[in-house]
């Protein structure tokens, strides 16, 4: 039995045996310099006196990062992707601008006095930044908008509108390292009203679906699949590249038990997609009856996968809200939500997370010891029906590196013992925060749980500070490379401390950490 009972954040974890007496299991294997997280109990065989705490991202004070300011941006930036381009040494943002309210008579919220031509209802645009906060919108000169090419429009919409948009970075594909998949709609809603206002509108597509493009530079895009849909699924789907499985993955919007849900879809080339029978993200009996699984995005993190899953909260007589939970997987195919609490919550009217907001389709970007999470935020202080100011914009929130979840001990202390694993690397480090008179200590044990000579808890020098990579040392040893290949366990003891992650480092990374600490 691999999975331990998962207790909700805030509940004290008690001792749990992972395996029956006499049952053997293959030891875990870790990659060097990869964080081992505690979102689930996969690594843990025994734990006492610790509680699991879910940590929420905090909005940057500079928000919003990109405001819609031009006519083609329609006061609204809901979807997109942000990546850091290491070759160009800059942040790059591909974002959707959208106005489905003023372009289609008969649609909810339609404002005749503000109507825009239906072919101007949506654009895919581009911005770039040196620091991820202050953005510039270059004049690309690719498409004409009302008689001028002085704009940052990348793609115009051949249907009624774009919807969910995912930009995928695949640097191993030197010819076309950038892929983009976006839903294109063909939904006039009330055709007679559309025809009355816009005449016999002709669209450049014959059917709605997810369309794909590829690019060498991220600016000039060519259609994939001869301009036909690459995947026939509903609008709220998200896509990514999985470097471990060497496949493209999509959370494809579908329906389960008459509620929104996400199918697992795969492709070898981002063109030929197969929807499997596996459900990637669904609402279940542990959720409120009004909850629906609206979207999901996953990415490798350490030796596991982490993901953001969008929960649509439908409550009778109340406005629908969108917020996000964490999901995780060990194989990239089977995903769970072990902590049923809001990881990224909607916010008050004055915030940019009012009721509905959308995390962008890209992994968190690491910068200055933090994870940056970009999202399309919505303000409740500007009226959709009457306002002229931006009401949906690009925002960013930050989280401690590895900081999704921590195992916490109070002053009474607590500990965990890992499942057996194969020893790797030269050093062990902890991502830990120690409070006043708090500490973290570790011991290395043999596969039966007996302390290894020189690596006992009594010999460990306590860590007593806030460090992302605190190297564990003992009185007579720091280098653990002599244990390489052996099956061992680790015991970690905490007092008034929070443990976020465990790492095994090689010599190169240890030297880098030492150099950085010396400079600081």
Bond into 64 cis (ω within 30)? yes
What's the confidence (pLDDT) of residue 441? 98
CB 382 within 8 A of CB 389: yes
Residue-level pLDDT at 112: 66
* Mean pLDDT score, 132-158: 97
Residue 185 belongs to domain with CATH number = 2.115.10.20
What is the average per-residue pLDDT within 331-344? 96
Residue 5 resides in a domain: no
The domain of 385 spans: 58-400
Q: What phi, psi does 390 have (nearest 5°)?
A: -60, 135
> Do 66 and 191 reside in the same domain of the chain?
yes
Residue 195 above 80 pLDDT? no
DSSP state of 470: E
The total number of structural domains that make up the chain: 2
* Residue 6 belongs to some domain of the structure: no
pLDDT above 60 for 402? yes
Whether 88 and 105 map to the same domain: the answer is yes
Q: What is the mean pLDDT of the chain?
A: 90
Give the residue among 184, 123, 196 at the shortest CA–CA distance from 155.
Answer: 123
pLDDT of residue 162 exceeding 90: yes
For residues 71 and 44, state if they share a domain: no
Opening angle at CA 348, ends 344 and 354, nearest 5: 65
Output the pLDDT for position 15: 34
Pair (170, 29) in one structural domain: no
> Residue 5: its pLDDT value, please?
36
Q: Is 135 a domain residue?
A: yes
Say whether 73 sits in a helix, a strand or coil.
helix
- At residue 123 the predicted structure's pLDDT band, cuts being 50, 70 and 90, is very high
Find the range with the poorest average confidence among 106-110, 357-361, 488-492, 511-515. Answer: 511-515
76, part of any domain: yes
pLDDT tens, residue by residue, 234-261: 999 999 999 999 999 999 999 999 999 9
- Position 44 scores a pLDDT of 97
**pLDDT tens figures, 27-69:** 999 999 999 999 999 999 999 999 999 999 999 999 999 999 9
Determine, yes or no, domain membership for 428: yes
Residue 336 has pLDDT above 90, yes or no: yes
Residues 421 and 395 occupy one common structural domain: no
Using pLDDT thresholds of 50, 70 and 90, give the confidence band for residue 104: confident
Portion of the chain with pLDDT greater than 70, in percent: 91
Of the candidate ranges 98-107, 293-302, 332-341, 399-408, the one whose mean pLDDT is the lowest: 98-107
Which of 334, 368, 400 is where one domain is finished? 400
Is 425 in the same domain as 484?
A: yes
* Per-residue pLDDT at 117: 86
Judge if 242 and 319 occupy the same domain: yes
């Amino acid at each position: 039995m691999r999975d331990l009972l998962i207790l909700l954040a805030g509940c004290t974890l008690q001792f749990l045996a992972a395996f029956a007496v006499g049952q053997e299991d293959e030891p875990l294997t870790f990659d060097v310099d990869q964080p081992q997280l505690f979102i689930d109990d996969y690594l843990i065989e025994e734990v006492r006196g610790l509680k699991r705490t879910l940590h929420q991202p905090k909005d940057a004070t500079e928000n919003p990062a990109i405001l819609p300011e031009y006519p083609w941006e329609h006061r609204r930036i809901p979807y997109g992707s942000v990546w850091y381009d290491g070759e160009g040494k800059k942040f790059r943002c591909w974002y959707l601008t959208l106005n489905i309210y003023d372009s289609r008579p008969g649609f909810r919220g339609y404002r005749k006095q503000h109507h825009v031509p239906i072919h101007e209802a949506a654009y895919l645009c581009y911005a770039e930044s040196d620091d991820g906060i202050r953005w510039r919108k270059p004049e690309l000169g690719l498409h004409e908008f009302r008689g001028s090419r002085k704009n940052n429009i990348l793609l115009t919409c051949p249907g009624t509108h774009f919807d969910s948009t995912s930009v995928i970075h695949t640097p191993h594909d030197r010819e076309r390292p950038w892929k983009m998949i976006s839903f294109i709609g063909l939904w006039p809603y009330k055709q007679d009203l559309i025809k009355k206002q816009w005449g016999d509108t002709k669209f450049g597509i014959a059917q709605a679906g997810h369309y794909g493009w590829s690019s060498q530079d991220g600016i000039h895009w060519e259609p994939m699949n001869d301009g036909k849909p690459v995947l026939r699924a509903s609008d709220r789907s998200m896509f990514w590249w999985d470097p471990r499985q060497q496949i493209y993955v999509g959370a494809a919007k579908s329906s389960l038990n008459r509620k929104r849900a996400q199918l697992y879809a795969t492709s070898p080339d981002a063109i030929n997609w197969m929807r499997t029978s596996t459900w990637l993200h669904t609402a279940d009996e542990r959720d409120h009856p009004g909850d629906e699984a609206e979207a999901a995005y996953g990415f490798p993190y350490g030796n596991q996968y982490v993901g953001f899953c969008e929960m649509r909260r439908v409550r009778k007589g109340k406005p629908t809200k969108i917020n996000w939970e964490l999901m995780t997987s060990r194989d990239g195919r089977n995903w769970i939500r072990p902590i049923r609490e809001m990881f990224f919550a909607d916010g008050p009217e004055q915030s940019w997370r009012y009721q509905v907001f959308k995390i962008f389709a890209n992994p968190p970007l690491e910068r200055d010891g933090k994870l940056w999470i970009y999202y399309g935020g919505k303000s409740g202080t500007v009226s959709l029906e009457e306002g002229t100011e931006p009401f949906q914009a690009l925002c960013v929130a930050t989280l401690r590196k590895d900081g999704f979840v921590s195992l916490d001990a109070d002053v009474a202390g607590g500990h965990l013992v890992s499942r057996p694993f194969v020893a790797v690397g030269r050093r062990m480090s902890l991502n830990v925060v120690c409070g006043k008179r708090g500490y973290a200590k570790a011991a290395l044990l043999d596969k039966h749980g007996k302390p290894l000579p020189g690596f006992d808890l009594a010999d460990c020098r306590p860590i007593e500070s806030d460090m992302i990579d605190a190297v564990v040392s003992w009185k007579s040893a720091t280098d653990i490379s002599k244990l390489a290949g052996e099956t061992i366990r680790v015991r970690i003891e905490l007092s008034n401390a929070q443990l976020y992650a465990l790492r095994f480092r090689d010599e190169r990374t240890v030297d880098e950490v030492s150099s950085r600490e010396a400079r600081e």
